[in-house]
Structure 1
Amino acid sequence: MSVAVPPPAPQAGSPVRPTEPEAPPFIERRGVPAAPPCRIAHIVSVSGSQAIAVLERDKMPGAEEPRVEIGQLVKIPTPSATVVGLVSAVSAPSPAMGGIGSSEDLGLIEINLAGEVALDPKNGRLSFRRGVTHLPTLGDGVLLADRHDLTRVYTQPNVATIEVGTLYQDPDVPARFLTDDLLAKHFIVVGTTGCGKSCALTAILQRVLTQHDHAHVVVLDVHNEYPTAFGDKAELIDPTNLHLPFWLLNFQELAAALTSGDADHDAEIEILSDAVLTAKRRYSDASSSRQLARRPGDLSGMTVDAPTPFRLSDVLAVLDEQLGKLERTQKTLPYRRLKSRIETLASDQRYSFMFGSLTVQDTMTDILGRLFRVPNDGRPITVIDLSTVPPEILDVVISVIARLAFDLAVWSKGGLPMLLVCEEAHRYAPASVGQGFEPTRQALSRIAKEGRKYGLSLALVTQRPSELDTTILSQCSTAVAMRLSTERDQQVMRANTHDGALDLLDFLPLLGDREAIVLGQGVAMPMRIRFSDVGDQGVPRNLNRAFSDSWSRPNLDRAGLEAIVARWRHAGRERP
């Protein structure tokens, strides 16, 4: 180990370097004391936010040479501050004759400069801040950060944080996210199947809920993974107890559910618009016990998009009335199609949560209160199981929930901060125009661009960031990047992540399970972490047994197959 050389005395007129307080006693881990910081290199090049240093091979006899790895935190003392950076590359461009690894090798390390530790004029203490105002220069020494440095950089004082795991560089240093920056500015969790995305999201949300009893979180669970992840803190909703009446849909969503996409689409849209407006007027008249004569077209300010109740029976009655007035030479197919579609949805048990109610009541306040936990009654998170919602209407359901969340945030004037969690986000907000359901994309895009003004934030989870709408992806200020195998997905993450340590993303294919590289405003500076084990009770469940387990014994007989067919024909697949 090299001997630390005391800094020279400052000359007259030169800036005084702040003196760091003595580090606390090193914490022992597994009986081995943590090593103090040591000089490993000196700067030979500085260009923008990157620096190159030459490794120093001289060390005391018998001392072990420190191991330098990519992703490690290093510090560079300068006269005015201590610059902090991350090792992004290690190389030996001119190997010695003795071979790679010999003491005569010219070893280089590349460093991404990320921030600095300087004296805070407010309290007179050393603190970390992003950005570098005092760049290092040639000859400045490079030291490996010790546990004291890691704690100072990654644990921000007087700032709300949540502990989600540990640092890869030192498992004894907790990894913390900045709560307000993480939640208020949208974040995304990406990673290939099986790397632990669901466990990572669960770890984040569990810590948030532990510290915030009055939170309002909604999880759109498309795979039914989270019903046991949050225990009694979660309000569990599935199609058997979900109540999302059709009259809450705006006209674009309603038209997507009721109309066809062929040549008669425009005619069906016009017919449906008139029928819905008339049905809303009739319900309003009936509910107020008034039957007032109106001029044709006088709808008293009602709009087809307003979330006001109406009856499907009134819509069907309007269609029958119009059919009765048509002559045989006129085209009746759009009317008959609309009527048939409405009758089918009203009688199909799979759509009962939206179209199956026999009575229509204005329960909008109750519906919003349950979905968004107002009041939360000790259950700050809503887990909505969408795994058995019919695919042809799934996008409509997600669109309605996202739009209601935004409208509620707007009309509450930001008085109800909420987090909307979207699993498999690329499925209903795809990158390609023309794919997916456009209202869903618009609803999520509006939240991404304007939601933070009203206290509404997005948490996106996806295994294919390259297939996610780029506008929505670019609005995520924090990226939790887990193992990604495809080059296309890695390129998209580099292009949409604004940080000084993008080189770390080159190592996404090498990350282990529950490991992640976290970039953005939700952390003090970029870091590689390992998420905490959420425990057996909190692990998102996988509904499918392993093949080796399932195929080792008989798993289905003829009677079971007949029961599946019966459920398939009458009410969709049974709830697990």
Structure 2
Amino acid sequence: MPAQIGQVSEVTGSNIKALMDAVQLTAAQSGTGGDQGVTVGSMVEVQSGTARVLGIVSAIRSAGSDKGAVMDISLVGQFVPGANGGSDFKRGVARWPAIGSPVLTVAEADAGSVVKTTSSSTVHIGKAEFNGTQDIYLDVDNLLRTHFAIFGSSGSGKTSTTSVILRAILERLPNAHMILLDPHNEYEGAFAGMTERLTLSTLRLPYWMLQFKEFCAVFKVLPESEYASEVKILREAVVQAKTLYAGIAAGAAAKPGQPAAPTSSLNLDSPVPFRLSDFRRIVNDMMGKLDNPEAIQSYLRILNRLEELTSDDRYGFMFGPQFVRDVMGEVICQLIRIPVEGKPITTIDLSDIPEEIVDVVVSVVFRTVFSFAVWSGEEGAVPTVLVCEEAHRYLWDDRSGKTISLAVHAAGQVAKEGRKYGVGLGVISQRPSEVSPSIVSQCGTIITLRLGNERDLAFVKNALPDSAAGLMQALPALNTREAIVFGQGVAFPTRLTVNELPLSARPRQKVKSFMEAWSNDTTDGGLVSRTIERWRSRLHHIRRS
């Protein structure tokens, strides 16, 4: 049964203070009316006439020797009579408590009504910390439609939490469509049997699907103001090469005796094929017509870079000879998983992709998925979710002074407009303060594990609603797999313990224990030579025949 633990002493908008005398303080600390007692983050009930208002304890401090304590409480909603005779929780407060109103612990059944959701599209992710028994569910539609973020320091359980949530969704919805960007290949075993893993050898992103800005970035001629002549050359050569290929393709497809289809609608960003051999010839022809020998350097710069891109196996997923034909449909089906065929998540391993074009790769993936959704028209594209692990590496804070990020621009478009077209976004990072704030601000649900860095704590604090302010104080002290979740995906801001993954589904651990590894002398056994071979095979340039 609920027990009275205090009485209201001050009311300021949605925040109140309550006094606890020595007897009430002892009852609150001993857990009378609740298994774990009343602490910061606990639910309390405030009686206001016939209304039962729910609050969250944000602070507790001593009122002086033998005078009990003072609680700061944020009011978040109220209990209303339920259809089955119990109580249901409703956000918002219709009637403010008066001075002297009693403050009570919350009954187990009422606590359950707070964290439950009436939605049928839920997945179970853990247990509430306030009693250790109450199940916590995420509303899948709200979570994905309004985007989500998962933050946590290294070792806090961030990757495992991400795996728990995504696996719970995929197990319930085996025909889902997810794309996970994995910079460290951590999720190799987390989705065994459910993922299409794309590596440097299986990923396909044809050069002609790049927008012109992305094409310039690959050719290292950004910003445009510093490479104006090179950008001009690329612009002319790309349009000519696309027009030439489109004319040939249209002529081949035309019926005998009929003119070829017009190509005047082509532009720099049209995702249509063109031949690199045509592109190279056009640049050479343009260079041959020059009267000024000094301008030749710009042409040679482009031709030399083209030679690098086409002779280096690391760029084969983008500049390989197989992309002479139109494979755009195949690329989209591979990325989004159409059809799913038992593998609802595409994991893109970014670990082997050259660092200099990771920004472009992420930009192309985001833009392709978003454009496909937009241009699907009234048919409606398949809802797709893009999940970004280590997001601070490529969705960095655009105010940081770094070079302009194409990935931030493309992801920002998804963050702002994706919900209109069925494209969701997940942002995962151990350094939230380094992620673009304009992207994070669009995330309707935030799940944060342990954070210790002051900048990261301040960043997350700014995103927290008033009702969760008290929970914020616990962030540096959270245990592994403990998290605070708030926003559209849950009924109520809650501290919880995330479910533990089975051993076979845990994210990949690459580093051995120091104690274990250093207990015995290390023998070579071919380790050094095998490592050097892998190292060189990823980095050396191989001329394609």
Q: TM-score, normalised by structure 2?
A: 0.90
Q: SS of 2:428's equivalent?
A: strand
1:241 pairs with 2:211: no
1:273 pairs with 2:235: yes
Shift of 1:428: 1.3
Shift of 1:542: 2.1
- 1:40 counterpart residue number: 5
Q: Contact conserved, 1:114 with 1:501, CA < 8 A, in 2?
A: no
Question: 39, 42, 56: which one pairs with 1:72?
Answer: 42
Aligned residues: 523
Question: 156, 160, 163: which one pairs with 2:124?
Answer: 163
Question: 204, 220, 243: which one pairs with 2:181?
Answer: 220
Question: 118, 127, 134: which one pairs with 2:88?
Answer: 127
- 1:384 counterpart residue number: 348
Question: 305, 314, 329: which one pairs with 1:341?
Answer: 305
Shift of 1:48: 1.1
- 2:469 counterpart residue number: 502
User: Where do residues 362-511 of structure 1 align in structure 2 (5 Å cutoff)?
Assistant: 362-413=326-377, 414-433=380-399, 434-511=401-478
1:535 pairs with 2:540: no
Q: SS of 2:509's equivalent?
A: coil
Q: Which runs of 5+ in 1 are unaligned?
A: 1-35, 97-104, 293-297
Q: Contact conserved, 1:80 with 1:118, CA < 8 A, in 2?
A: no
Shift of 1:549: 2.8
Question: 106, 112, 116: which one pairs with 2:68?
Answer: 106
% same residue: 36
The answer to which structure has the higher helix fraction is: 2
1:86 pairs with 2:53: no
Question: 537, 545, 551: which one pairs with 2:518?
Answer: 551
Deviations 1:189-235 (A, max 9, x none): 11111101111111111111122122111110111011211221211
Q: Contact conserved, 2:40 with 2:470, CA < 8 A, in 1?
A: no
Deviations 1:389-439 (A, max 9, x none): 110111110010011111112122454211110111112122143415521
Q: SS of 2:474's equivalent?
A: helix
- 1:287 counterpart residue number: 249
Which letter maps to 2:321?
S
Which letter maps to 2:331?
I
- 2:219 counterpart residue number: 258
Q: Over aligned residues, Cα RMSD in angstroms?
A: 2.5
Which letter maps to 1:151?
G
Q: Contact conserved, 2:398 with 2:404, CA < 8 A, in 1?
A: no
Q: SS of 2:439's equivalent?
A: helix
Shift of 1:341: 0.5
Q: SS of 1:331's equivalent?
A: helix
Q: SS of 1:543's equivalent?
A: coil
Question: 160, 174, 185: which one pairs with 2:135?
Answer: 174
Question: 453, 472, 480: which one pairs with 1:513?
Answer: 480
Change (3 A) 1:490 1:65: closer
Partners in 2 of 1:92 and 1:445 — Cα distance? 46
Q: SS of 2:243's equivalent?
A: helix
Shift of 1:84: 0.9
User: Where do residues 301-380 of structure 1 align in structure 2 (5 Å cutoff)?
Assistant: 301-327=265-291, 329-380=293-344
Stretch deviating more after TM superposition (73-82 or 271-280) = 73-82
Partners in 1 of 2:515 and 2:272 — Cα distance? 53
Q: SS of 1:396's equivalent?
A: helix
Partners in 1 of 2:185 and 2:114 — Cα distance? 38
Which letter maps to 1:420?
L
Partners in 2 of 1:561 and 1:199 — Cα distance? 31
Which letter maps to 1:421?
V
Q: TM-score, normalised by structure 1?
A: 0.86
- 1:295 counterpart residue number: none
Deviations 1:296-338 (A, max 9, x none): xx95211110110111111111111122222353510111110
Shift of 1:367: 1.0
- 1:190 counterpart residue number: 151
Shift of 1:383: 1.1
Change (3 A) 1:81 1:162: farther
Change (3 A) 1:73 1:313: same
Q: SS of 2:452's equivalent?
A: coil
Shift of 1:559: 5.0
Change (3 A) 1:555 1:405: farther
Which letter maps to 1:79?
G
Shift of 1:550: 2.9
Q: Contact conserved, 1:78 with 1:136, CA < 8 A, in 2?
A: yes
Partners in 2 of 1:458 and 1:230 — Cα distance? 19
Question: 26, 36, 55: which one pairs with 2:20?
Answer: 55
Deviations 1:24-63 (A, max 9, x none): xxxxxxxxxxxx322222222221111111224448x999
Which letter maps to 2:384?
M
Partners in 2 of 1:38 and 1:464 — Cα distance? 42
- 1:144 counterpart residue number: 105
